[in-house]
A and B are shown apart, each in its own frame.
Chain A
Amino acid sequence: MSINSLVNIHTIIPSSEIYGPGVRWVLWTQGCSLGCKGCWNTETWDPDNGKLLSLIELKKSIDDADGVEGITLLGGEPLQQASVMLELIRYAKGKGLSVMLYTGYYEKEFDETMKQCFELSDLVIQGRYVEEKRDPGLLWRGSTNQIIESPTGYYDVEQFEEAQEVEIHIDHDSGQVTVTGYPDADIIKMVEELSNSKMPFKI
């Protein structure tokens, strides 16, 4: 794997507290062909809509993130870029950071590289989002079929208390507002109202 290998990304948030334990560097990859019905992040599906960053740039971004407990990889579908994810996971582990991985795949669907990503991760949210099983009260997950596990045993998954979480970042320089996590419709509507919006409304 070359350090110039490119990763197709949607967003990086260098510091967040709602994607796993503690403060974490969070990467949303771009591109997902699983097409879960009711997905909240359809804008991360199209691989042509992303931004290509080299592994070296991503590693630097991790290095620059101060005081984080670990990294979290989600998407999109991170394991559709499994070889670069594996490189990132190894890098983070080498720095003593924990790794949390979101994947819509089930273990039985993993190829060899995906399996390695899974096995090295300290926390994995596994499984498709199933709209009929949606439960907003779940911690870090969207539907009840999704499993939390700790393949390395680093975390005791029993200690985590179920709760719905949302994080809102307001950039002081640009005024840009970013909403992440598991907001309800009221939160989304509120943020739309509080920001520049040319959202068409239906009457």
Chain B
Amino acid sequence: MSYITRTGTIQMVDAECVQEVLEEIGATDINISGDAINCRYDGYSITFSKGINGVIGLRVRDPQYYRGNTEIVAESTYHIDLFNNLERRYPIWIREKQEEERKERENQERLRLEKIRIQKEIQAQLQAQKQQDFDSLSQDARTVQIEQQKKSAQRLQELDSDLNESQKALETVQGELSRVAESRKNFLEITQKEIIQRGEEGGWKLSENFVEEQRNVTRIQLRKKQTN
């Protein structure tokens, strides 16, 4: 017989992301301080703990243990439901941000291409003006050309402004995603370090610690010889 257990597949490690998701779910009075995230939800005061590796967890009183106390059972069950909801929404929030980044990149590319097209049009217009005697054109034709140039210049300005806005939006979403990535990196590093350190304190000897590139998994092996 051997032991095997797995944690949930989603490790919520970014407190700000958790905060945004909680807001989406409808929590209020959200307050992140030190190793706790407090909020209110439907009249309940809820506290999530933040582990040493940044992971957000929930410790509640066991509803089974308090089977007789309906108030505690209701409260505990409620907390677990909210946590489950948070766990469901957390990866969706990340996916939505990734999608936002993708769309913003596409938007920027579209704007850039339009800018290039208009710049080329202006160049062509100027080139044509050089080749023909502008003064010999009729008043109407001159007006049309001038209007066209004005429109193009105005559109270029709009595009520059849109590109600036898009760049800001892209930087914001990239900032959020890189913060999540950084939190995950910290989670991995600290989790690994803690497992090894606390394992060794418990009398285990580290026999393997490496990254399996193919699976993108860190594998830590601890060994203990029996001394009795």
B218 touches A194 (CB 8 A): no
A172 touches B217 (CB 8 A): yes
Cross-interface CB contact of B60 among A104, A179, A198, cutoff 8 Å: A198
Q: Does B111 have its Cβ within 8 Å of any Cβ on chain A?
A: no
Which residue of B has the minimal Cβ distance to A189? Answer: B198
What is the CB-to-nearest-CB distance from B120 to chain A, in angstroms, rounded to a whole number?
44
Given A16-B219, A166-B3, A194-B195, 14 new contacts (CB under 8 A): A161-B225, A168-B219, A169-B219, A171-B215, A175-B13, A176-B6, A177-B191, A178-B7, A179-B4, A182-B3, A184-B202, A186-B202, A187-B199, A199-B59
Which residue of B has the minimal Cβ distance to A44? Answer: B4
Roughly how many angstroms separate A132 CA and B153 CA in the complex, as a whole number? 87
Roughly how many angstroms separate A176 CA and B64 CA in the complex, as a whole number? 27
24 A-B residue pairs with CB within 8 Å? A10-B4, A11-B6, A15-B219, A36-B1, A41-B4, A140-B2, A143-B1, A166-B3, A168-B220, A168-B222, A169-B217, A175-B11, A175-B188, A186-B198, A193-B51, A194-B55, A195-B51, A196-B55, A196-B56, A197-B7, A198-B79, A199-B59, A202-B65, A203-B61
A137 touches B215 (CB 8 A): no
What is the CB-to-nearest-CB distance from A44 to chain B, in angstroms, rounded to a whole number?
8
Interface string of B149-189 (1 = CB under 8 A from A): 00000000000000000000000000000000000100110
- Name the prevailing secondary structure of the B interface residues: mixed
Q: Does A180 have its Cβ within 8 Å of any Cβ on chain B?
A: yes
Number of interface residues of A (CB under 8 A): 68
B223 touches A200 (CB 8 A): no
Q: Does B122 have its Cβ within 8 Å of any Cβ on chain A?
A: no
Q: Does A119 have its Cβ within 8 Å of any Cβ on chain B?
A: no
A163 touches B224 (CB 8 A): yes
What is the CB-to-nearest-CB distance from B50 to chain A, in angstroms, rounded to a whole number?
11
Complex contacts, A193 vs chain B, CB 8 Å: 51, 57
Q: Chain A: residues with CB nearer than 8 A to chain B?
A: 10-11, 14-19, 28, 36, 39-41, 44, 66, 74, 102, 104, 129, 135-138, 140-143, 146, 161-184, 186-188, 190-191, 193-203
A170 touches B61 (CB 8 A): no
A200 touches B13 (CB 8 A): no
Q: Does B71 have its Cβ within 8 Å of any Cβ on chain A?
A: no
Which residue of B has the minimal Cβ distance to A28? Answer: B4
Roughly how many angstroms separate A177 CA and B3 CA in the complex, as a whole number? 14
Within 8 A of A (CB), among B36-77: 51-53, 55-65, 76
Complex contacts, A169 vs chain B, CB 8 Å: 217-220
B11 touches A176 (CB 8 A): yes
Q: Does B192 have its Cβ within 8 Å of any Cβ on chain A?
A: yes
Roughly how many angstroms separate A173 CA and B91 CA in the complex, as a whole number? 12
What is the CB-to-nearest-CB distance from A160 to chain B, in angstroms, rounded to a whole number?
13
What is the CB-to-nearest-CB distance from A13 to chain B, in angstroms, rounded to a whole number?
8
| Given known A-B contacts A10-B4, A11-B4, A175-B184, A196 and B87 have beta carbons under 8 A apart | yes
Roughly how many angstroms separate A201 CA and B58 CA in the complex, as a whole number? 10
| Given known A-B contacts A194-B55, A195-B11, A177 and B6 have beta carbons under 8 A apart | yes
Complex contacts, B222 vs chain A, CB 8 Å: 165-168, 187
Q: Does B137 have its Cβ within 8 Å of any Cβ on chain A?
A: no
Task: Indicate the member of A40, A41, A175, A202 with the most B CB atoms within 10 Å.
Answer: A175
Complex contacts, A39 vs chain B, CB 8 Å: 1
Roughly how many angstroms separate A194 CA and B193 CA in the complex, as a whole number? 11
Roughly how many angstroms separate A73 CA and B12 CA in the complex, as a whole number? 33
Cross-interface CB contact of B8 among A164, A187, A195, A201, cutoff 8 Å: A195
Which residue of A has the minimal Cβ distance to B183? Answer: A175
Complex contacts, A10 vs chain B, CB 8 Å: 4
